[in-house]
Structure 1
Amino acid sequence: MIIYFVLGSALLISLLTDIKYRKILNIVTFPAIFFGFIYYTSKWGWEGFLFSGKGFLLGFSLLLIPYLLGGMGAGDVKLMAAIGSLMGATFVLNSFVYIALIGGLISAILIMKKYGVVYSLKSFWFQIFFLRGNLGSIFFSKDKSSSISFPYGVAIVLGTLCTFVWGSFI
């Protein structure tokens, strides 16, 4: 189907640009979002518009808070909205579970690579048991030089592919 071609193209281009330039381009996400709305509206009318709209809103809202807290870029949010617009709310929610797991795994690997396994585990358990500082300091570092980042588009693409391969997580 054409919807899979559009989604696959958007994911592939976003993966490549996010790895190379650390950007997910509007020229990729916006047409994908609009295509989802137009495709489903022309196919199913008002019901199709609602199908695409619910997926868009859910995909957008899932990553909105991490974006507002500075944890990821706006392109990641728009890519999730595009996935929702193209595939619907159920698909984007299932993808999000895989995306979160893959993103967490990548983050843990990068933290252990940077600081070492023993230091990372000691720091993690210290934070859990003593809750040093406020709760937000566990998740968000105030010192930008000590923060670790990676192109989250990689996790989004892999999580979406996992949903295609293995289906629903929930």
Structure 2
Amino acid sequence: MFSEFGSDMVAGVVFFSLLFAACWSDIMSRRVPNELVLLLAVGGIIYSMSGGAWFHGLLSGFAGLALGLLIWLPSWLLRLLGAGDVKLFAAAGAWLGPWGTVEAAIWAGLIGGLLSVAYLLRHRGIRGVVFTISALRIDPKGAIQRERDDPTRKSLPYSVALAAGAVIAAWFPRIMF
């Protein structure tokens, strides 16, 4: 998608920069600013419309945005992700279109799983990882609820995984499908 020199490369740098800024904010403050998400979404719609057939691009941009929202909305409803993470991915979907958004979500899920295991290992050790996975297998809803209610709980800035999935899908389109 952004692999050709010229305006596509410039758009790719803008896309990456906005995602990087959102991730940095999430890492530092556990918050993804709405202004940044709005800028990413508007930029994605404009980029989608710039391909020639502006109306088709407009539909593709909005379809990617809506699909990005729908894919991660259940995770927000279960309080597994923050609203900023979901909005960030939806805004990235405006750049990627529907197929790119699906591919990005798969990459993000894989990367997020790896980051989650690494995070658990770092903060809880191997026994903590085994305990958490066992608790999820025995009582998924209860384990998630106990985890949420723990005041000492540290959270993973999941925007990093979501942004990484979006960047992979944008810079290397269709390597999965």
Query: TM-score band (shorter)?
Result: 0.7 to 0.9
Name the structure 2 match of 1:124.
133
Tell me, yes or no, if the aligned pair for 1:97 and 1:169 is still in contact at 8 Å: no
SS of 2:32's equivalent in the other structure is coil
The 1:57/1:17 distance shift into structure 2, 3 A limit, reads same
Q: Aligned partners of 1:143, 1:69: CA distance in 2, in Å?
A: 13
Alignment partner of 2:17 out of 4, 9, 25: 9
Tell me, yes or no, if the aligned pair for 2:41 and 2:94 is still in contact at 8 Å: yes
Tell me, yes or no, if the aligned pair for 2:107 and 2:165 is still in contact at 8 Å: yes
Name the structure 1 match of 2:168.
162
Q: Which of 80-89 and 148-157 deviates more?
A: 148-157
SS of 1:109's equivalent in the other structure is helix
* 2:59 is the alignment partner of 1:30: no
The 1:58/1:127 distance shift into structure 2, 3 A limit, reads closer
Q: Aligned partners of 1:127, 1:116: CA distance in 2, in Å?
A: 17
TM-score of the superposition, structure 1-length normalised? 0.83
Q: Which of 8-17 and 34-43 deviates more?
A: 34-43
Counterparts of residues 18-167 of structure 1 (less than 5 Å): 18-41=26-49, 43-125=52-134, 127-128=136-137, 131-132=138-139, 135-140=140-145, 141-145=147-151, 147-163=153-169, 164-165=171-172, 167=174
Tell me, yes or no, if the aligned pair for 2:100 and 2:173 is still in contact at 8 Å: no
What count of residue pairs does the alignment treat as equivalent? 166
Q: Which of 40-49 and 6-15 deviates more?
A: 40-49
Q: Aligned partners of 1:144, 1:49: CA distance in 2, in Å?
A: 44
SS of 2:84's equivalent in the other structure is helix
Please report how far the alpha carbon of residue 56 of structure 1 lies from its aligned counterpart in structure 2 after TM superposition.
Answer: 0.5
Q: Aligned partners of 1:166, 1:57: CA distance in 2, in Å?
A: 19
- Deviations, residues 38-67 of structure 1 (Å, cap 9, x unaligned): 343353232111111110111111111111
